[in-house]
Amino acid sequence: MSENIGSIIDQYFPEFEEGLKKEIEISGLNKKFKAGSLLMNIGEEISHIPLVYDGTVRIFREDEQGNELLLYYLEPGDSCAISLVCSGREQYARIKAIAIDQTRAIMIPINLMDSWMHKYKSWYYFVLETYRLRLEEALQTIDSIAFKKMDERLIHHLRKKSEALNTLVIKVTHQDLAFELNTSREVVSRLLKKLEQKKMIALSRNSIKIINLIDAPTE
DNA sequence: ACATTAAGTGATT
DNA sequence: AATCACTTAATGT
């Protein structure tokens, strides 16, 4: 699986024009990250932006107490919207990025961003599109926090997780879920139990199996 | 067998 | 829905 950058671009970013592809071949670094490794931390200077083509990366914010708020996942074909725009003024990351699986990405030096935005229409649209998608997601998350009850949020979260990890058996503790949803472990346990009784999931220690996750009309 | 960690439960706010 | 205090179950050493 040691493909060259050009064929990776063809496969995962086919919309990029030839000139852009050439530049990526010249300046991009093909990197591999182990599962669990930190791609970016808060306060770090952003020097490269990733074009992910294999694996999954978790992007999240963290507050002073170390509480995490999941922002989104990066999957093959994605890039990090926040770092794309950080290119200009804001040189320091305000988010944390951790590889969930082994992840491979082409790293592009941030100093090229400005000129690429002008030179390559396909890059310009790629950035806009990435940003638009994330904004949409962020809005969804906001109203899910603001208007939805915990049970709906949990279902939503589990579904997302299962999609992102591409598995029906999610390896996670109730405590982790509680952390991700900013609630308490007991609440998660109780809600999961309800979902289990409705035959939507199956529970066992450290893992949750998705059986039939449909939005349950809350009683 | 024992210690540790995850999960379940009831009561209280 | 959060928190506390406690129990029970599963797992590692």
- Chain segment A167-212, per-residue pLDDT in tens: 999 999 999 999 999 899 999 999 999 999 999 999 999 999 999 8
Q: Is residue A38 within 8 Å of A32, Cβ to Cβ?
A: no
CA distance A53 to A126: 15
Comparing A90 with A193, which gets the higher pLDDT?
A: A193
CA A141 to chain CA centroid, Å, is 13
In residues, how long is chain A?
219
pLDDT of residue A53: 93
CB contact set of A23 (below 8 Å; sequence gap of 6+)? A112, A116
Task: Report helix, strand and coil shares of chain A as percent, to nearest 5.
Answer: 45, 25, 30
pLDDT given at position A219:
44
Q: What is the tens place of the pLDDT at every residue in A5-14? A: 889 999 999 9
Q: Is the per-residue pLDDT at A17 higher than 90? A: yes
Classify A14 as helix, strand or coil. coil
Q: If you ran DSSP here, which 8-state letter would residue A112 be given?
A: G
Please answer whether residues A29 and A14 qualify as being in contact, where contact means their C-beta atoms are separated by less than 8 angstroms: no
Q: Please, which positions of strand C sit below 7 A from a protein CB?
A: 1-5, 10-11
Per-residue pLDDT at A86? 63
The answer to whether A150 CB sits below 7 Å from nucleic acid chain C is: yes
Ranking A48-52, A59-63, A214-218 by mean pLDDT, the lowest is: A214-218
CA pair distance A66, A99, nearest whole angstrom: 18
* A149-156: average pLDDT: 89
Mean pLDDT of A60-72: 72
Instruction: State whether residue A29 is helix, strand or coil.
Output: strand
Stated in angstroms, how far is A171 CA from B11 C1'? 31
Whether the predicted pLDDT of A67 surpasses 90: no
- How many Å from the CA of A54 to C1' of B3? 40
CA distances from A93 to A68, A81, A117, A200 (A): 15, 12, 20, 38
Q: Has residue A50 got a pLDDT over 80? A: yes
Q: Tell me, what DSSP letter sits at residue A177? A: H
What's the pTM?
0.68
Question: Stated in angstroms, how far is A177 CA from C11 C1'?
Answer: 20
Average pLDDT value over all residues in chain A: 85
Q: Which of A1-5, A43-47, A162-166, A186-190 has the least mean pLDDT?
A: A1-5
Q: Name the residue closest to the C1' of C3 by its CA.
A: A184
Indicate if the pLDDT at residue A89 is higher than 70.
Answer: no
